[in-house]
Amino acid sequence: MKREERQTYEKLMDLALAEAEKALKRGDFPVGCILECNGTVIATGSREGTTGESANEVDHAEMVLLRRLAGQHPRPDLNRARIFCTMEPCLMCYAAIILSGINEIIYAFEDVMGGGTGCDMERLTPLYRRKVRILPHVRRRESLALFKTFFSNPANTYWKGSLLARYTLETA
C-alpha cells in the first residue's frame, strides 16, 4: 500500500475509533465503524446493546451503520464505498456488508473468536460470492487499547472470560 493511501486509511480509521470510544464511554463493547464514499463519510455506527436488560447480539456497529444508511435518500452508490471497522466484522455483519454492495472492508483488530472475513466465499451460495477487498490491522494498536480497557474493567461482563477476552488481555 502506498504511503498516501495508508495515511488516508489511518485518518478514516481514526473516525471509526472515535465511534468505538463513544460505545466504551456508554459501557458498551468498543466497536465503531464509518462508511466512506468518494471522500465523504456517509454513515457511522457504534456497538449498542451489550449492557443491561437490553443486551443483544444484533446491534453490532456495522448493523447500526447499515440501518442508518437505509434511511438515506437517495441511496449512495455503495460499490464505491469503503467501511472502516475497529474490529473484524463477524459473519452476520460480513454478510450484511456484502449484500449491501460494499466492496472494501478495512478493520483494525482481528476477532479471533467470531471474525467472518476469513470465510471461504467460493463455498457459499452465489449471492455471497462477491470479491471484497479486505485490509486488516489499520490502527490495530489503538483499537486493541480500547478492547484492553473494556476487558480490564470488572464492571463489564460482556464476553468476560471468553476466547476474545483472553486473547486481548494475554496474547495481543
How far apart are the C-alpha atoms of 111 and 15, rounded to whole Å?
A: 20
How far apart are the C-alpha atoms of 107 and 103, rounded to whole Å?
A: 13
Band (pLDDT 50/70/90 cuts) for residue 102 is very high
Long-range CB pairs of 98-104 (<8 Å, 24+ gap) are 98/128, 98/130, 98/132, 99/127, 99/128, 100/66, 100/69, 102/35, 102/78, 102/132, 103/78, 103/79, 103/130, 103/131, 103/132, 103/133, 104/132, 104/133, 104/134, 104/135
Which stretches within the chain are classed as H helix?
3-26, 61-70, 91-100, 140-152, 163-166
pTM for this model (two decimals): 0.95
CB atoms within 10 A of CB 154: 7
Ordered by start, the domain boundaries in the chain are: 3-170
pLDDT digits (tens, 9 = 90+) for 55-86: 899 999 999 999 999 888 788 889 999 999 99
pLDDT digits (tens, 9 = 90+) for 131-164: 899 999 999 999 999 999 999 999 999 999 999 9
CATH number of 3-170: 3.40.140.10
